[in-house]
Each structure stands twice: as C-alpha cells, then as structure tokens.
Amino acid sequence: MNNKQSTRLRIVGILSVIVIVGLTVYAYSMREQIIGLRRYGYIGIWLIEFIANASVLLPIPGSLVTAAMIPLLHSPLLAIISSNAAAVGELTAYMAGLGGSIVVENQQWYDRVKKWITKFGGVTIMVLAAIPNPLFDTAGLVAGAARMNMVQFFLWCWLGKFINRTILVFGGAALFEWLKFLIG
C-alpha cells in the first residue's frame, strides 16, 4: 500500500471515529426520542437499529425496541429489516478500524480477535454477530484494521445479525402467543 492510500485510510478512520463518537453522544442524549421512533413502524425500527449498532461507546437498546415491536409488526419482515439496519450500522466500526489500525493494534483483545478472523474469516464475523455480545464492535474494528473485504464483512455481519434477529423475533412471537394463551 502506498503512502497516499495509507493517508486516505487514516482519514477515513479518523472521520469514522468522529462520526461514531458524535452518533453515540447524540443517541445517548436523545435516547428517549430515539426509542419514540418505534411509532413509525418498520422505518422507525430501521433507524433505531442503525443508530444502536452504529454506536460503539455507549449501549443503546436497539434489539429491545425491536423485541417490543413483535406483537405489532409482521415477524419475517421485522427480522429482515432489523438485521439489515444492524449490519449497516456495524459498518461504522469497520470503517473506524480500516483507518485506525494503530489504535486497534494496541488493545489487548486485538490479537485474539484478529487470530480468529485470520483463521476463520467471515465465519468469525457471523458467529460474533449472531451472539448478543459487546465483543462484536471489536470484531468490526479488527476486520477493518485487518483489511477484510468490506462487502464480505457486511454480508457475514448481516447473516449473523439475521440469525440473531430471527431468533429474537420468532422466539419473542412464540413467547407472546404462549403468554396470550396462558392469560386467556
């Protein structure tokens, strides 16, 4: 990689970090209004999931709002829309890693996640995206820093988020029906 490309990647990384920090601070300060987006149905869910997954620094309960919408929206469409928005939101961590490998490389968790990504590739991204955990932002940062192909990252991430949201939505729908049956 030549010096010009390296400089561009660093600029992209710096801008991504600025966007992530800005989105996180904004989303945290506006969390009540963001949760209020659910009244807009699928578009609101997409925005909530996008913002929640684009935020790296502070947790925003995107999947909890999606779960709350289970009785109101069509389950298959809810799973597709929420997983799509979550995967698009995760691209912010990837972009930050793409331009900020020096920051990422100095963290103690970097070597472990990089080893998994190097050894198992996209499957690592899919598994970490499917399991609700705070480590996934790390995977996005490391995937970017390791120069994993962005389209591959997105597709594997979407598949993992789709598995996660499908279990959430259909499991929640089944639980909702069971509770309706119990209550009468």
Q: What single-letter DSSP state applies at residue 59?
A: -
Single-letter amino acid code for the residue at 60: I
DSSP 89-130: HHHHHHHHHHH-HHHHHTSTTHHHHHHHHHHHTHHHHHHHHH
50-85 tens-digit pLDDT: 988 987 766 677 787 788 788 888 889 999 999 999
Query: What are the Cα distances from residue 67, in Å, to 71, 73, 82, 162, 169?
Result: 9, 10, 10, 14, 6
Number of domains in the chain: 1
117-133 tens-digit pLDDT: 999 999 999 999 999 87
Query: pTM score, two decimals?
Result: 0.78
Distance CA 111, CA 103 (A): 13
Domain that holds residue 47: 3-183
Tokens for 103, please give them.
């920051």
